[in-house]
A and B are shown apart, each in its own frame.
Chain A
């Protein structure tokens, strides 16, 4: 499964198995296009398998059907982690599932990027979108750190910023489980030394990440995607309860990052990682 042709064949067969109802013209009710998905997924799958050599751990914690909210840490200049989680859910999860990333609002103003994101199911991060998708049994991916997460510089790559609480409210309203996910290695793939905000503003972006080698292009660093068992939050949506649930999710992702770092440094093996990811105390 190494060559481009093999990867393309695999991607085609897995996109055909997605639980998405494409109409006769190849579009679903959200404007997701089968053709665009294929065009985007093949290079992403190549990047995942050959360039970043992504290792996926515990993805079977994501239910095979029904609405589920994936909550992950953010690092590495831009949403490389989101793309790799979505690719993993397409290539490694059984059955393959389409991930709807909740995109930053600036993306919708960018020519080409906004159209491509929408055709591939990456909708603007609005509670209305998350609610509707989850009630329809789709997989929604959020980064509670927002754009501040990708702003992290190289030394802070494995830390967590402040979490916004909207995702917990959405999960409680829709009654779906939350699967915490840690992505490691994106901070090494794009080692940001400074974020140039004035250039970002000129381009309609929050900032442009500047690396030690000048270009905002990722290095072929190995990435790890680690999922933990789902969390279910029920009860009243009051401020105190939501803050407590957010803290639980953040704590679990922090523990996953710690376990993942030990794994990457060779201190624990696959079984050890599985044990720690599955038994993270909160």
Chain B
């Protein structure tokens, strides 16, 4: 199978590329806004195109100059339309649904994004998510799959939860302990490869083991919580978010965003292999607290890019 990946350079992209190549697929990385993208796609003739921009939950500086990814999503949609890509996959995040005080646990795919008025940080992700979901249903030749994944976690330090856990002290709001939902990085790659193979059409939440309170996640990864009043944390988190490219808000550290992955399981037969304790242990072993540098930045970049991710050369 031929697969084109947008966002192949990010850690999840590299993991997915490695998995697909291992089983004999041909993988090409593309930037849909590059002038040569169409030519690369025409040469590669991909059966499937995957947009991974939302998977990491990072606010890369370049995205700020790019309407935080919306123009890139538009370019991806246009490319799928023009080149008649059979199966288009967009990977977004479960935080789309919004961390609000009276939000239900186990939200379903048809629920609207809530609580955006209090989160300018997450609004661009939600806008990109909604636009991609609507546009791809229109242009994909065979099927369009829109995934909203929970936080990845594991030995490679992929994703915004791992980045937050790799800070020196972990922020928490005094008096609140929200449920946090995550799945092992390898389970995420399993889920993505299943989508490539089975081509389920529609919007799906992708989940792993049952959620755990933030205090337990921090404790089981051998970190220390810094419990702060909300007002103080607002200021600290906005600085931290910019420094570590994190899309974390105070609301997410107060209220749970827990989604129901039942529809995805029914469509693909996916089941997670790694339980919560094994996932946290794998992360804690790979990133012990004493190895952290200031704000965890160097440790993450070393582990996630050069040591643990095996990626072949891009075509």
Contacts and interface: CB of A to CB of B under 8 A. Distances in A.
Is this pair of chains taken from one and the same complex?
yes
B175 A27 contact: no
A142 to B, nearest CB: 16
Interface in B175-227: 175-177, 179, 209-213, 216, 220
Contact of A108 (B101, B213, B277): B101
| Shortest beta-carbon contacts, A-B, top 6 | A111-B175, A128-B104, A108-B101, A29-B210, A112-B175, A115-B177
B174 interface: yes
A31 B277 contact: no
A60 interface: no
Interface stretch (A119-127, A173-181, A239-247, A249-257): A119-127
A108 B211 contact: no
Contacts of B220: 25
Interface in B20-78: none
B276 A25 contact: yes
Contacts of A24: 275, 277
A28 B213 contact: no
In which size bucket is the chain B interface?
Answer: 20 to 34
B18 interface: no
B102 A108 contact: yes
Interface of B: 101-102, 104-106, 173-177, 179, 209-213, 216, 220, 255-256, 275-277
Given A25-B216, A111-B174, A111-B175, A31 B211 contact: yes
Contact of B210 (A28, A115, A118, A128): A28
A266 interface: no
Nearest to B258: A31
Interface of A: 23-25, 27-31, 33, 105, 108-112, 114-115, 118-119, 123-124, 126, 128-129, 132
Nearest to B230: A111
Contact of B179 (A23, A31, A111, A129): A31
Contacts, number: 63
Contact of B216 (A27, A114, A126): A27
A23 B276 contact: yes
B104 A31 contact: no
B106 to A, nearest CB: 6
Contacts of A28: 210
A110 B213 CA distance: 17
- For chain B, what secondary structure do more than half of its interface residues adopt (helix, strand, loop), or is it mixed? loop
A118 B275 CA distance: 22
A118 B258 CA distance: 13
Contacts of A30: 105
A25 B255 contact: no
A129 B177 CA distance: 19
Contact of A31 (B102, B174, B256): B256
A62 B104 CA distance: 26
Contacts of B256: 31
A243 to B, nearest CB: 26
B212 A114 contact: no
B104 A129 contact: yes
A150 B256 CA distance: 28
Contacts of B101: 105, 108-109, 114, 124
A132 B107 CA distance: 11
A76 to B, nearest CB: 24
B102 A105 contact: yes
A27 B210 contact: yes
Given A110-B175, A132-B105, 4 more contacts: A105-B102, A109-B101, A114-B176, A128-B104
Nearest to B219: A25
Nearest to A31: B179
A119 B277 contact: no
9 contacts: A23-B209, A25-B216, A31-B211, A31-B212, A111-B175, A115-B213, A124-B102, A126-B102, A126-B104
Contact of B213 (A23, A27, A112): A27
A25 to B, nearest CB: 6
